[in-house]
Amino acid sequence: MTETDSPDFADIGRWLFAQNCEFVWAADKIDGLPPMGPLEIAFAGRSNVGKSSLLNALTTRKTLARTSHTPGRTQQLNFFDLGPDAGAPLLRLVDMPGYGYAAVSKEKIANWTRLMKEFLRGRATLSRVFVLIDGRHGIKDVDREMLTSLDQAALSYQVVLTKRDEVKKSLVEKTLEDARAALRKHPAAHPDVLFLSSHSGEGVSDLRAAIVELVSQRDSATFARLRA
């Protein structure tokens, strides 16, 4: 890649997410988090919203994150380093436990909820949370609770609607507008809403581009490495 006056975020994103991506850490308690290092991007969503499938599609891998039809399989914060050099990652991805229904005890769900809230409040390297919401159903009460928690943490987040391939084309724009309207009530929400399909790949490049643009705004040194 060569530097230009107007960076092509989509092209840089395609390059970035084709690099090595490796699982590096798991934490089920706040004192078990890895040392802070590269910029972190987290992914949150209801159990079974397709979070693992999205991470696999985003990184063009089939088994980076486990997929399951059983809600609640992600039971800790999972960290993945992304970049050509294992010792100097360009970005760190964080797969958060699914919220909402899970076939586990109430105590376990309470522990996950506490872990997520503490992580969101106190992680200086955490730059944005992408909140995945099922595009077939829109924003539900359990999603609103998560968005409100992010507002209270004053942490930037952006909504990503999933399962676009299962929504009629005639309803795509209305689905997007309904989500944008709901988010106007949430001060920490990014105004742009993405709509994608992990199955067909439609819209995945838009998410990659959004992440690269965020890096350009938050970490100029890392962005320079991306454009080198």
Q: How many CB atoms lie within 10 A of CB 84?
A: 13
Instruction: Name the CATH topology of 9-227.
Output: Rossmann fold (3.40.50)
Kindly give the confidence (pLDDT) of every residue in the chain, 228 residues in length, as a single tens digit, with 9 standing for 90 and above: 444 568 999 999 999 999 999 999 999 888 999 999 999 999 999 988 989 899 999 998 877 865 444 444 557 899 999 999 878 999 999 999 888 765 666 777 777 778 888 898 889 999 999 999 999 999 999 999 999 999 999 999 999 999 999 999 999 999 999 999 999 999 999 999 999 999 999 999 999 999 999 999 999 999 999 998
pLDDT at 2: 46
Helix/strand/coil percentages in the chain, nearest 5: 40, 20, 40
Handedness of CA 25, 27, 32, 38 (dihedral sign): positive
- The residues, any chain, with a CB within 8 Å of residue 107's CB and separated by 6 or more, are none
pLDDT at 71: 47
pLDDT at 63: 73
Q: Do strands 77-82 and 21-27 pair parallel, antiparallel, or not at all (unpaired)?
A: antiparallel
pLDDT at 110: 76
- The residues, any chain, with a CB within 8 Å of residue 191's CB and separated by 6 or more, are 180, 183, 184
pLDDT at 3: 46
CB distance 208 to 10 below 8 Å? yes
Nearest partner of 163 among 48, 70, 17, judged by Cα: 48
Q: How many CB atoms lie within 10 A of CB 101?
A: 13
pLDDT at 102: 57
